[in-house]
């Protein structure tokens, strides 16, 4: 933790961490202080045997007249020393073995990993029992046995974590910089494995505590006259009915130590992560229902004063109004965080949990989208196309049933009828051998083909509106061109209106009749796709977007980047002309 405090970064104290430190701190103080003052009471034989609680002996005395409380407190020292030693052996041995396995040649690594997994699968207490039985009983034996038994778990964690961290780009880059492998492990691998290892170390401490106590309890650990919690339990067992406190007191000490260690582990793990602890605003704005701005009676989709608010009170979409006419293609263009996807998902009724949308009007052809709607009606009114065609489909199922789901479930078509319609729709999207494609799994189709299949399935129910959220962003450029043409074809031949979300100004200007430029939750400009193509944008923000986009023709002028831009787009100097 020394490195953390050296950084200008505040350490975060959580309640659990404080409580854990308090508990373990108390145990450590007890371990240091108790043997100094209570050794006599704990170890001197007196005639006051088997007494109940009294002012002189708070928890009574044992068979030999020794104070039970004093013995339990004094036993803390040996117990803690043994548990910490065993944990240190397990962590250091495990890290070394795990790192060694990760650095080893591939074949050695594979064999070693299987061996380690077998060792992990074997119950560590039994392993410890065997080791203790071989070495003979005693406190040192118990520590070694429990420590060795803990190594495989850490080794497996280290090796697996190292394998996953080493795939991240910064490890490859460091290697390219010429950082030697041992330094690579120390700088890049271990720090990024710190959380799981810390948590595991503290839970391993708690486990060692229990296992060492168990060994002592069964007589393979600490031997008389030494005593730890386990030994005390062992001694107390014979008189558990007459002197229950003799077992209860060490048990409480065991629980407190274990709990304290676990709490510290969790607290350290969350404090060690520099990304954690960011606070959101946490303020909740009162929901409001703004007044209508301009009713548009001929519109297919009417959105009036739509505001979308995140759970933390931040307005993601700020009172926007727009409408889509029947058969029109409207593009929403903007950068990440502009609220374009949020707008589209609100229209589609797919709001994330905690997000609230308020609007004066949100209506699709007489269907009030603010009210609760029958999913059947929604499914046949709005079609959806998402960004990544690879994650739209369930990879375990064949294409056919997934493509015809809307028809079968919501439109009550029978299987054969739905299949026939889908085959025709796929053929229309220039997918060859549609019957074969229906019987294949998603991974057997290319990305462009999948996206065209999505378009086919979302248009076959003849929706009034098709919402496409960055549908070509994940596609190659030649494939993107094909998919864009399919959208145009569906629109022209079926008259389906389209709400098309994209960050690519080139795409929207080619495809869309109307373009809405969004920034920071607001619509800054609306213009026709043709005007955008001709560069007839009036709002400074739109112009800056155009100026930031590299061109395929003309001179290669300097681009206008975000650094030369105002945040909200108003009051901007037009220096990029």
Q: Among residues 117 and 504, whose Cβ is nearest to other proteins? A: 504
Residue 295's contacts (CB-CB under 8 Å, 6 or more residues apart) are 302, 304, 361
Tell me the residue ranges of DSSP E strands in 153-276: none
Residue 59's contacts (CB-CB under 8 Å, 6 or more residues apart) are 53, 67, 68, 69, 72, 245, 249
Contact set for other proteins, span 414-433 (CB under 8 A) = 430-432
Q: Among residues 294 and 567, whose Cβ is nearest to other proteins? A: 567
Q: Among residues 149 and 505, whose Cβ is nearest to other proteins? A: 505
Stretch that binds other proteins, among 75-83, 154-162, 320-328, 552-560 (CB under 8 A): 552-560
Beta-carbon count within 10 A of 388 CB: 14
Closest CA to 112 of 126, 123, 102, 122: 102
Minimum distance, C-beta of residue 459 to other proteins, in the bound complex (Å) = 14
Does 6 sit near other proteins (CB under 8 A)?
A: no
Minimum distance, C-beta of residue 98 to other proteins, in the bound complex (Å) = 18
Minimum distance, C-beta of residue 570 to other proteins, in the bound complex (Å) = 16
Does 394 sit near other proteins (CB under 8 A)?
A: no
In whole angstroms, give the CA distance from residue 304 to residue 363.
9
Phi, psi of 137, rounded to the nearest 5 degrees: -70, 155
Site string for other proteins, 477-496 (x = CB under 8 A): xxxxxx-xxx-xx--xx---
Query: DSSP states of 248-300 as a string?
Result: HHHHHHHHHHHHHHHHHHHHHHHHH-TTTTPPP----PPP--PPP----TT-S
Does 521 sit near other proteins (CB under 8 A)?
A: no
Does 169 sit near other proteins (CB under 8 A)?
A: yes
Q: Among residues 351 and 534, whose Cβ is nearest to other proteins? A: 534
Q: Are 34 and 79 in contact (CB under 8 A)?
A: no
Q: Are 519 and 335 in contact (CB under 8 A)?
A: yes
Does 513 sit near other proteins (CB under 8 A)?
A: no
Near other proteins by CB under 8 A: residue from 146, 162, 449, 466: 449
Contact set for other proteins, span 50-79 (CB under 8 A) = none
Near other proteins by CB under 8 A: residue from 219, 401, 447, 526: 447
Near other proteins by CB under 8 A: residue from 107, 354, 562, 574: 562
Stretch that binds other proteins, among 205-213, 352-360, 364-372, 556-564 (CB under 8 A): 556-564
Does 182 sit near other proteins (CB under 8 A)?
A: no
3-state secondary structure of 396: coil
Near other proteins by CB under 8 A: residue from 549, 566, 568, 570: 549
Contact set for other proteins, span 267-306 (CB under 8 A) = 274-275
Near other proteins by CB under 8 A: residue from 58, 133, 183, 293: 183
Contact set for other proteins, span 312-371 (CB under 8 A) = 335-336
Q: Are 480 and 472 in contact (CB under 8 A)?
A: yes
Query: DSSP states of 106-138 as a string?
Result: HHHHHHHHHHHHHHHHS-HHHHHHHHHHHH-SS
Does 194 sit near other proteins (CB under 8 A)?
A: yes
Beta bridge partners of 516: 332, 526
Minimum distance, C-beta of residue 524 to other proteins, in the bound complex (Å) = 14
Minimum distance, C-beta of residue 527 to other proteins, in the bound complex (Å) = 15
Does 36 sit near other proteins (CB under 8 A)?
A: no
Beta-carbon count within 10 A of 199 CB: 20
Residue 9's contacts (CB-CB under 8 Å, 6 or more residues apart) are 274
Does 509 sit near other proteins (CB under 8 A)?
A: yes
In whole angstroms, give the CA distance from residue 492 to residue 497.
9
Does 156 sit near other proteins (CB under 8 A)?
A: no
Q: Among residues 38 and 523, whose Cβ is nearest to other proteins? A: 523
> Roughly how many angstroms between the first and final C-alpha of the chain, as a whole number?
53
Minimum distance, C-beta of residue 439 to other proteins, in the bound complex (Å) = 13
Q: Among residues 70 and 511, whose Cβ is nearest to other proteins? A: 511
Closest CA to 256 of 70, 22, 32: 22
Near other proteins by CB under 8 A: residue from 386, 526, 533, 572: 533
3-state secondary structure of 333: strand
Closest CA to 405 of 395, 386, 391, 419: 419
Near other proteins by CB under 8 A: residue from 561, 566, 568, 570: 561
Near other proteins by CB under 8 A: residue from 105, 178, 282, 297: 178
Q: Among residues 279 and 432, whose Cβ is nearest to other proteins? A: 432
């Amino acid at each position: 933790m020394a490195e953390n405090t050296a950084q200008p970064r505040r350490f975060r104290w959580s309640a659990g961490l404080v409580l854990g430190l308090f508990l373990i701190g108390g145990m450590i103080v007890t371990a240091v202080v108790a043997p100094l003052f209570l050794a006599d009471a704990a170890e001197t034989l007196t005639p006051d045997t088997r007494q109940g609680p009294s002012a002189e002996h708070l928890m009574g005395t044992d068979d030999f007249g020794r104070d039970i409380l004093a013995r339990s407190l004094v036993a803390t020292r040996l117990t803690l020393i043994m548990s910490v030693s065993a944990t240190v052996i397990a962590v250091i041995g495990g890290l070394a073995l795990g790192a060694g396995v990760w650095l080893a040649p591939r074949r050695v690594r594979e064999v070693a990993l299987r061996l380690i997994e077998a060792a992990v699968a074997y119950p560590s207490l039994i392993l410890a029992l065997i080791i203790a039985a071989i070495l003979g009983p005693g406190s040192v034996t118990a520590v070694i046995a429990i420590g060795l038994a803990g190594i495989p778990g850490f080794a497996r964690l280290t090796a697996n974590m190292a394998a996953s961290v080493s795939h991240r780009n910064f490890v490859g880059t460091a290697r390219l910089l010429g950082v030697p492998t041992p330094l690579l492990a120390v700088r890049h691998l271990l720090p990024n494995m710190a959380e799981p290892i810390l948590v595991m170390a503290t839970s391993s401490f708690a486990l060692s505590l229990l296992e060492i106590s168990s060994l002592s309890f069964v007589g393979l650990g600490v031997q008389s006259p030494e005593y730890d919690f386990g030994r005390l339990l062992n001694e107390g067992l014979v008189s558990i009915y007459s002197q229950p406190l003799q077992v209860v007191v060490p048990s409480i000490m065991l629980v407190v130590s274990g709990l304290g260690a676990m709490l510290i582990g969790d607290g350290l793990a969350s404090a060690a992560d520099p990304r954690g602890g960011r606070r959101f605003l946490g303020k909740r704005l009162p929901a409001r229902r703004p007044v209508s701005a301009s009713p548009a009676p001929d519109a297919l989709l009417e959105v009036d004063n739509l505001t979308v608010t995140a759970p933390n009170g931040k307005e993601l979409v700020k009172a926007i109004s727009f409408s889509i006419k029947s058969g029109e293609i409207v593009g929403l263009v903007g950068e990440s965080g502009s609220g374009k996807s949020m707008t589209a998902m609100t229209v589609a009724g797919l709001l994330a949990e905690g997000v609230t949308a308020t609007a004066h009007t949100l209506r699709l052809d007489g269907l009030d989208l603010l009210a609760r709607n029958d999913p059947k009606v929604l499914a046949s009114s709005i079609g959806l196309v998402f960004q990544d065609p690879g994650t739209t489909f369930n990879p375990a199922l064949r294409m056919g049933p997934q493509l015809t789901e809307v028809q079968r479930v919501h439109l009550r078509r029978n299987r054969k009828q739905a299949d026939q319609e889908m085959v025709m729709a796929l053929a229309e999207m220039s997918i060859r051998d549609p019957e074969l494609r229906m019987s294949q799994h998603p991974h057997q189709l290319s990305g462009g083909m999948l996206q065209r299949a999505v378009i086919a399935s979302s248009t076959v129910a003849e929706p009034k509106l098709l919402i496409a959220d960055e549908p070509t962003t994940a596609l190659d450029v030649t494939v993107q061109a094909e998919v864009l043409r399919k959208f145009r074809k569906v629109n022209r031949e079926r008259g389906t209106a389209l709400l098309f979300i994209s960050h690519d100004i080139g795409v929207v200007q080619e495809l869309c009749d109307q373009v809405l430029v969004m920034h920071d939750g607001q619509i800054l400009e609306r213009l026709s796709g043709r005007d955008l193509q001709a560069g007839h944008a009036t709002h400074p923000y739109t112009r800056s977007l155009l100026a930031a986009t590299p061109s395929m023709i003309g001179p290669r002028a300097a681009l206008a980047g975000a650094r030369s831009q105002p945040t909200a787009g108003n009051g901007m100097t037009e220096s990029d002309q």
